[in-house]
Structure 1
Amino acid sequence: MKKIKSLCVYCGSSDKGPAKHILDAKELGYAISKRKINLIYGGGQVGVMGAVADAVIENNGTVTGVIPEFLMRQEVGHTGITKLEIVSSMHERKARMAELSDGFIVLPGGLGTLEELFEIVTWKQLGLHNKPIIVFNSDGYWDNLQKTIKNMSAIGYLRPENIELAIFVNKIDEIFSKLN
């Protein structure tokens, strides 16, 4: 497998979630910077998204944010990161983040995070990439999603081998062992 130089992290921009999710995002950011991996993320400075980026920057890591122009006002693009790319649409954002990344980590978030996860898993299922996808199940946040995916397979909508396209883990350390 290719050495991981850049990791895309999908996560929420809301600051209304549990404090544990922010702490986990910071721990992940520290772990990413410690390993000299470039963080690729959605470019915002708030919520879980801002926490992971801030932790990488605080530890002298590199961060590339990709944000559509219309979200600059809503998410307030992070000006303290290494590089902030402003794109014209959400589609361009997702394609660019995928292009820049050697793997994907999914933290808690809302509908946008869920959509990003399903798109990148679908791309893998279709053979458009073969990069690792790790879902960090912070405090059981993704338990019901994991059950839903297994149910999709049990009733015939998902081939059994496709259950493992995204790997669910419960600890930050597990993320990096599963990436390799």
Structure 2
Amino acid sequence: MESIVVFCGSSEGNDPEIVDCAYQLGATFAAEGITLVYGAAKIGIMGRVAQGALDYKGKVIGVIPDFLKLKEVFHSGLTKLIITENMHQRKLRMHELSDGIITLPGGFGTMEELFEMITWAQLGLHQKPIGLLNINGFYDELLAMLRTMVNKGFLKQEYYDILLVDNSIDGLLHKMKNYEPLPLPIWIKKDQL
């Protein structure tokens, strides 16, 4: 994987371990030569991931819609800044620039980004590894809810297994590098991809 998009919060929350891990993820990307693609903010968990990569001479591409440039206080020291017209174009561009997806803690926006990427994978629109970094058990309840979806017959086990989960950066990157995607659904035609 040459580049990974990271979805995460524009606030830091109140758990210092999450903040530290976000910075370390960026530093790890730099050490491994992985380009960070993210939402371009210099604040919150987003800013910590970017700063970790930049402090260790990593390549960082920020993608932000024009209307959020002031609200999310974009990072001015990025390798490259891409400005889009809207949120949908932002996600699409981030997806196009990445070989994999990692989600860190965040709020509604982070959840929306994660679930859109999982849905696209379920539909066969991409076969990229999707990782969830479960720092300090942040996503334990979400994972329990997903398990309930499987148990109640609303989510197939094979789609549940699309989401790669680990508590450590190294463990998650190992799973992502060794990910074997599901075969494309037979009802999807090549011209629809």
Aligned to 1:112: 109
Residues 43-67 of structure 1, C-alpha deviation per residue, up to 9 Å, x if partnerless?
Answer: 1000100000001000000000000
Whole-Å Cα distance in 1 between the matches of residues 142 and 54 of structure 2? 31
What is the 5 A alignment of 1:29-108? 29-108=26-105
Cα deviation, residue 165, structure 1 = 1.1
Counterpart pick for 2:133 among 136, 143, 147: 136
Quote how far apart the aligned CAs of 1:161 are: 1.0
Task: Give the length in aligned residue pairs.
Answer: 177
Residue aligning to 2:17? 20
Q: Is the 8 A contact 2:103 2:114 kept in 1?
A: yes
Please, which runs of 5 or more residues in structure 2 have no aligned partner?
A: 178-193
Give, as a single letter, the amino acid of the residue that structure 2 aligns with 1:28. Answer: L
TM-score scaled by length of structure 2: 0.90
Query: What one-letter code is carried by the residue in structure 1 that aligns with 2:164?
Result: I
CA shift, 1:15, in A, is 2.8
* Aligned residue type for 2:18: H
Runs of 4+ in 1 over 3 A off after TM superposition: none
* Distance in 2 of aligned mates of 1:75 and 1:11: 13
Q: 1:165 aligns with which of 162, 166, 186?
A: 162
RMSD across aligned positions (CA) = 0.7
Between structures 1 and 2, the one with greater helix share = 1
What is the distance in 2 between the residues matched to 1:36 and 1:28? Answer: 12
Does the 8 Å CA contact 2:35/2:60 hold for their aligned counterparts? yes
Q: Using the aligned pairs only, state the percent identity.
A: 45
Letter in 1 for 2:74: G
CA distance in 2, matches of 1:88, 1:63: 20
